[in-house]
């Protein structure tokens, strides 16, 4: 009996210690936080833009056919000058495009846009009757040239590189440009005292050319991006010829003016990425 009692007490104490150990709290290391998902530029987007468009173009006389005395006299006193048809105006429109991100920071895509343009300028010169060397009077004459860009569209490729945690895209862009261009020129006067004559030439057409530029685009939310962009566009040249055949004394006289249809635009925009 004396041997059994101490053995029983020892067994109870050992079992209690084991149970206490099982009930002790167990601490585990917290799981590592998931890495943030990098912003992706891939996908379709749609947006709008506003900005400023400008040109510093002139309509220049490039060739003459001269046989009449009156026509030669008007040239000699400074008529038929170059015309300033450059101007600055508002532009606004919309764009749609698709981006594909490759590598870790490169983005390639294509974008099409169409914009209203308020670009229009008329330059008018009034020439009074002028005495001519050797006698005679050069008749009064009014001459005018106008250039207008009604709207401008582009279809461009884009290539860019991202920074700032993949949120800022710096890109270059270039491709096709097309737009509604109106060029016109006229002269009105009373040559040789024969009565008022209006001689004019004009062209109104959709012209096609090229464009190039670059910009920045920033993803400030999961689906929204803001952009700043510069583009240079060139829609080629247009030659317009004034034919003075109906004017007495000026049969066979012509003058050709060349219009350059190019300019620049800067705009800001907002895109929604689908």
Structural domains in the chain plus CATH codes: 43-273 (2.40.160.20)
pLDDT at 214: 98
pLDDT at 4: 41
CA atoms within 13 Å, Cβ hemisphere of 206: 6
Instruction: Please name the residues in contact with 112: beta carbons below 8 A apart, sequence gap of 6 or more.
Output: 95, 96, 97, 153, 154, 155, 156
| Number of CB atoms found within 10 A of residue 10's CB | 10
Length in residues, the chain: 274
Give the chain's residues under pLDDT 50: 1-15, 17-21, 23-27, 29-31, 33-35
pLDDT at 7: 46
CA–CA separation, 127 and 61 (whole Å) = 17
pLDDT at 253: 86
CA–CA separation, 157 and 155 (whole Å) = 7
Instruction: Kindly report, residue by residue over 182-236, the tens digit of the pLDDT.
Output: 999 999 886 666 667 889 999 999 999 999 999 999 999 999 999 999 999 999 9
pLDDT at 119: 96
pLDDT at 140: 80
Q: Which helix (H) or strand (E) holds 72?
A: helix 69-76
Degrees to nearest 5, angle at CA 37 with 31 and 39: 165
CA–CA separation, 106 and 166 (whole Å) = 10
CA–CA separation, 166 and 164 (whole Å) = 5
């Amino acid at each position: 009996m004396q041997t059994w009692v101490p053995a029983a007490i020892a067994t109870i104490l050992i079992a209690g210690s084991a149970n206490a150990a099982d009930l002790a709290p167990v601490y585990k290391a917290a799981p590592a936080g998931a890495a943030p998902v990098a912003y992706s530029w891939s996908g379709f987007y749609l947006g709008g833009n506003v900005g400023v468009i400008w040109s510093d173009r002139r309509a220049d006389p490039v060739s003459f056919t001269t046989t009449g005395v009156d026509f030669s006299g008007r040239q000699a006193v400074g008529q038929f000058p170059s015309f300033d048809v450059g101007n600055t105006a508002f532009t606004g429109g919309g764009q749609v495009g698709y981006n594909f991100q490759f590598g870790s920071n490169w983005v390639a895509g294509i974008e099409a846009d169409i914009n209203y343009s308020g670009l229009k300028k008329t330059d008018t010169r009034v020439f009074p009757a002028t005495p001519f060397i050797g006698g005679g009077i050069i008749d009064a004459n009014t001459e005018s040239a106008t250039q207008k860009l009604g709207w401008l569209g582009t279809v461009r490729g884009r290539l860019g590189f991202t920074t700032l945690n993949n949120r800022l895209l710096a890109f270059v862009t270039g491709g096709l440009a097309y737009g509604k261009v109106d060029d016109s020129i006229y002269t009105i006067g009373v040559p040789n005292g024969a009565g008022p004559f209006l001689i004019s030439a004009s062209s109104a057409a959709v012209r096609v050319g090229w464009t190039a530029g670059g910009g920045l685009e920033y993803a400030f939310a999961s689906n929204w991006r803001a952009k700043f962009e510069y583009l240079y566009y060139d829609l080629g040249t247009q030659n317009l010829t004034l034919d003075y055949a109906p004017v007495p004394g000026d049969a066979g006289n012509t003058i050709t003016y060349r219009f350059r249809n190019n300019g620049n635009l800067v705009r800001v925009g907002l895109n929604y990425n689908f």
